[in-house]
Amino acid sequence: MDRILIRGGNRLSGRLPISGAKNAALTLMPCALLTDEPLTLRNLPRLADVDGFGHLLNQLGASTSIEGTNPQDFGRVMTIRAGKLTSTEAPYDIVRKMRASILVLGPLLGRGGEATVSLPGGCAIGNRPIDLHLRALEAIGAELEMAAGYVKAIAPGGRLSGGRYRFPIVSVGATENVVMAAVLARGTSVIENAAREPEIVDLCNCLVAMGASIDGIGTETLTIEGRDRLHGATYAVMPDRIEAGSYACAAAITGGSLDLIGISSESMGATFDALVEAGVTLTPIKDGVRVEAGDTLKPLTLSTAPYPGFATDMQAQFMAMLCKADGASVLTETIFENRYMHVPELARMGADIQVRGRTAVVRGVDKLVGAPVMATDLRASMSLILAGLAADGETSVGRVYHLDRGYERLEEKLSAVGADIERASDG
């Protein structure tokens, strides 16, 4: 099993390219199931989750081909052809490894009129039921049953009717699933209290490029006029705002300066607002944003919230960064109830963090020290990388398969801007 070894203390400096967004890519790939024509996705990140989702699409009868074979290139161009679906079942062996697999439910139901999908897996960061997915699909005409760990959905008469649904709470995945199902419904669907994340906007823009009719993109109310069919398209995956935020934290915690290439301040919202409050300087440049650490990091009070609030996917990285702040910070996690599993690992490195329920108090320390630590989920693993970059001595991060799910060539990118970091195998 691989480990990441970091010898901390280096100030990061230079240009760092931001890859295509993992969360957007895993939403755009199942769009290919909605048409018998090819969907070509550009700027697709090289990630284990992307490869896994491609394998799931293959299981359903879609072919995937990648343009170019240069392993040094960041991003890929993938063409997905689902001319004929050979299966409408997403099996447990694949779905259990990746929660995003549930996103084939809506497209399969919309195009084929039926779908059988295993309950999902993914990071163990708390209870993430799919009841909102199912309620929304029922509201637009699906008939559902659950048995033996699978959801079986049917559109009576082979096609969804359309309808109206208001989410009781904002759900990104459920919004994505019902939108993909609704674009091929017979009638109109109105989705209220829809998630507004940039990745939702990216999904809707891709679907429109394929011929869908969606009004209200970027707002909490989406009106979708069902179409008889969609066509193929070529679409570029948006830059990864979570990766960009993570590397911005890397610049801040090491006292460095990084040019994040391919991202814009406008797309970063609450993450960049929080960095500025912490004393970090952000400057737009021609092809991205320059992130420069201040003389000292200021403590923050942050609470995670649905977009446009502070993203739960940035909580762990900010916690690591704030371990070096001058004072006490307060972080409150409102989205997932079990997303502080990185705290004991950070404590092994000298962090002073107290957790009370969903609130963590982070008191800045003079120094962090390298230690063997274990990643528990994707974003938690990045928090350990960040702590290792600032720590005295060597940090060994285990279970890096979590990192490989969401960060494209992390050690290569960080090495290029001055980090002493490498991947090692235990054999």
- Which of 200, 183, 86 is closest to 140 using CA atoms? 183
Residue of higher predicted confidence among 110 and 427? 110
Indicate the residue among 236, 258, 293 that finishes a domain: 236
Reported as a single tens digit per residue, the pLDDT across 359-381 is 999 999 999 999 999 998 888 89
Are 77 and 221 part of one and the same domain?
Answer: yes
pLDDT, residue 127, reads 44
The overall average pLDDT reported for the chain is 93
User: Which two structure tokens, joined as six digits, stand for 150?
Assistant: 């699978």
Contact indicator for 317, 382 with CB cutoff of 8 Å: yes
pLDDT, residue 335, reads 84
**DSSP, res 298:** P
pLDDT, residue 119, reads 78
The percentage of the chain sitting over the pLDDT mark of 70, rounded to a whole number, equals 95
What is the residue type of 215?
A: D
Distances, alpha carbon 381 to alpha carbons 20, 62, 120, 164, 322, in Å: 19, 32, 21, 40, 16
For strand 372-374 and strand 394-398, is the pairing parallel, antiparallel, or unpaired?
A: parallel
pLDDT, residue 408, reads 93
Indicate the residue among 214, 236, 258 that finishes a domain: 236
What gap in Å lies between CA 258 and CA 172, rounded to an integer? Answer: 30
Reported as a single tens digit per residue, the pLDDT across 296-348 is 999 999 999 999 999 999 999 999 999 999 999 999 999 876 779 899 999 99
Q: Which residues are annotated as a binding site for phosphoenolpyruvate?
A: 22-23
Rg of the chain taking only CA atoms, in angstroms: 21
Give the phi and the psi of residue 334 in degrees, each rounded to 5.
-105, -10
Q: Which residues are annotated as a binding site?
A: 22-23, 99, 128-132, 313, 335
Cα-Cα end-to-end distance for the chain: 7
Are 246 and 345 part of one and the same domain?
Answer: yes
Neighbours of 109 (CB within 10 A): 30
Give the phi and the psi of residue 264 in degrees, each rounded to 5.
-125, 155
pLDDT, residue 70, reads 61
- Which of 168, 181, 102, 180 is closest to 141 using CA atoms? 181
H or E, element range at 80 = strand 76-81
SS3 at position 386: helix
What is the residue type of 402?
A: H
**DSSP, res 426:** -
pLDDT, residue 212, reads 98
Are 194 and 289 part of one and the same domain?
Answer: no
Tally of structural domains, the chain: 2
List Cβ neighbours of 195 (8 Å cut-off, separation of 6 or more): 170, 171, 172, 174, 175, 176, 306, 307
pLDDT, residue 265, reads 86
Are 218 and 247 part of one and the same domain?
Answer: no
Reported as a single tens digit per residue, the pLDDT across 185-221 is 999 999 999 999 999 999 999 999 999 999 999 999 9
The angle formed by the CA atoms of residues 365, 371 and 373, to the nearest 5 degrees, is 105
Are 224 and 114 part of one and the same domain?
Answer: yes
Are 294 and 400 part of one and the same domain?
Answer: yes
pLDDT, residue 126, reads 40
What gap in Å lies between CA 390 and CA 368, rounded to an integer? Answer: 7
Contact indicator for 216, 208 with CB cutoff of 8 Å: no
pLDDT at 123 over 50: no
Are 327 and 410 part of one and the same domain?
Answer: yes
Would you say how long the chain is, in residues? 427
Indicate the residue among 190, 206, 236 that finishes a domain: 236
For residue 368, what is the domain's CATH number? 3.65.10.10
Q: Which residues are annotated as a binding site for UDP-N-acetyl-alpha-D-glucosamine?
A: 99, 128-132, 313, 335
249 in catalytic set: no
SS3 at position 160: coil
What gap in Å lies between CA 354 and CA 343, rounded to an integer? Answer: 8
Exactly one of 123, 204, 206, 323 is catalytic; which is it?
A: 123
Are 208 and 333 part of one and the same domain?
Answer: no
Contact indicator for 425, 4 with CB cutoff of 8 Å: no
Task: Enumerate the β-bridge partners of residue 115.
Answer: 153
Q: Tell me the residue range of the domain where 31 lies.
A: 22-236
pLDDT, residue 97, reads 76
Reported as a single tens digit per residue, the pLDDT across 235-272 is 999 999 999 999 999 999 999 999 999 998 888 999 99
Average pLDDT of span 150-160: 94
pLDDT, residue 122, reads 42
Average pLDDT of span 405-413: 93
Are 231 and 366 part of one and the same domain?
Answer: no
pLDDT at 128 over 50: no
Neighbours of 118 (CB within 10 A): 19
Are 410 and 290 part of one and the same domain?
Answer: yes
The percentage of the chain sitting over the pLDDT mark of 90, rounded to a whole number, equals 83
pLDDT, residue 343, reads 95
Are 343 and 292 part of one and the same domain?
Answer: yes
Average pLDDT of span 412-418: 97
Are 122 and 136 part of one and the same domain?
Answer: yes
What gap in Å lies between CA 173 and CA 101, rounded to an integer? Answer: 10
